[in-house]
């Protein structure tokens, strides 16, 4: 029997973002471990990439969705800033051993946020207008975007499911947005969270990697529900370090491979 309880106003209050300060440190550390192990360490260390390394992407995606929902007035501008970092990082990213062209994770995150923001706005216009013409326009745009996603999704890091991950997380966070929270009930909030967790489970192949990714995504949702109980971090991430670490650590790994003669 479905639960159809009206969401109370506390659910629609803006959550505290203290957890994202902790998330930044954890995401950078686990991402660096993943890349160093994958590209510079011997095969017996690869377990660290399949476990510790799987924490990074759901944390980054969770923070992008979080800031897009709660901490920016212009999600498009925020997404563009993420993709500027991706442009800087693309050269060292492509110099790492890989098969074929692929856009790095910054594009996966930024485009995912742009995609869901666009359709949130279009859906809002349709609901406010009640015009059938807007409904047909919305369906046409959705069909076109899904066709583009299917055609080009494989050229992005984490592929088709990676592009869906930020939109899935944003939908799960909608009940906590003050402007829409009172329109949702508890069963709908649980449904969106379940869809995001299913997406997380499908991002990887091994049981260990799936478990870590799902657990990290569940932790993001725990921070959503209990955010006001999270203490402030003692040493917040320096902004310049946060913005430069992704391209910088990739360039460092490429330099190490060059010195080791991996490109000979």
Task: Return the structure tokens found at 188.
Answer: 């709908």
198-249: pLDDT as tens digits: 999 999 999 999 999 999 999 999 998 898 899 989 899 999 999 999 999 9
What sign does the CA torsion over 14, 15, 21, 25 have?
negative
Residues forming a β-bridge with 185: 6
- The pLDDT, as a whole number, for residue 62 is 97
* Domain spans in the chain, listed from the N-terminal domain onward: 16-259
pTM passes above 0.85: yes
8-41: pLDDT as tens digits: 444 546 788 999 999 999 999 999 999 999 999 9
Residue 230 DSSP symbol: S
For the residues of 108-165, what is the DSSP string, one character each?
A: HHHHHHHHHHHHHHHHHHHHHH--HHHHHHHHHHHHHHHHHHHHHGGGBTTHHHHHHH
Q: Output the CA angle 79-85-90, nearest 5 degrees.
A: 120
Query: For residue 166, is pLDDT > 50?
Result: yes
């Amino acid at each position: 029997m479905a639960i159809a309880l009206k969401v109370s106003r506390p659910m629609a209050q803006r959550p505290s973002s203290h957890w994202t300060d902790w998330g930044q440190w954890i995401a950078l550390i686990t991402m660096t471990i993943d890349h160093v192990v994958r590209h510079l360490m011997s095969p017996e260390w690869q377990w660290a990439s399949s476990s510790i390394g799987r924490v990074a992407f759901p944390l980054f995606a969770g923070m992008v969705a979080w800031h897009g929902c709660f901490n920016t007035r212009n999600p498009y501008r925020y997404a563009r800033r993420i993709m500027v970092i991706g442009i800087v990082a693309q050269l060292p990213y492509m110099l790492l051993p890989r098969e074929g062209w692929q856009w790095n994770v910054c594009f996966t995150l930024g485009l995912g946020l742009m995609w869901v923001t666009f359709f949130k706005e279009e859906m809002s216009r349709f609901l406010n207008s009640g015009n059938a013409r807007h409904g047909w326009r919305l369906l046409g745009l959705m069909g076109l975007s899904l066709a583009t996603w299917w055609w080009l999704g494989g050229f992005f890091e984490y592929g088709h499911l990676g592009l869906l991950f930020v939109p899935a997380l944003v939908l799960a966070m909608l009940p906590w947005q003050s402007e829409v929270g009172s329109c949702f009930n508890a069963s709908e909030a649980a449904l969106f969270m379940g869809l995001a967790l299913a997406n997380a489970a499908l991002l990887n192949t091994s049981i260990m990697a799936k478990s870590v990714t799902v657990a990290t995504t569940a932790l993001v949702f725990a921070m959503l529900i209990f955010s006001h109980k999270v203490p402030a971090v003692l040493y917040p991430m320096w902004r310049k370090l946060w913005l430069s670490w992704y391209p910088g650590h990739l360039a460092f790994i490429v330099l190490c491979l060059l010195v080791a003669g991996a490109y000979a």
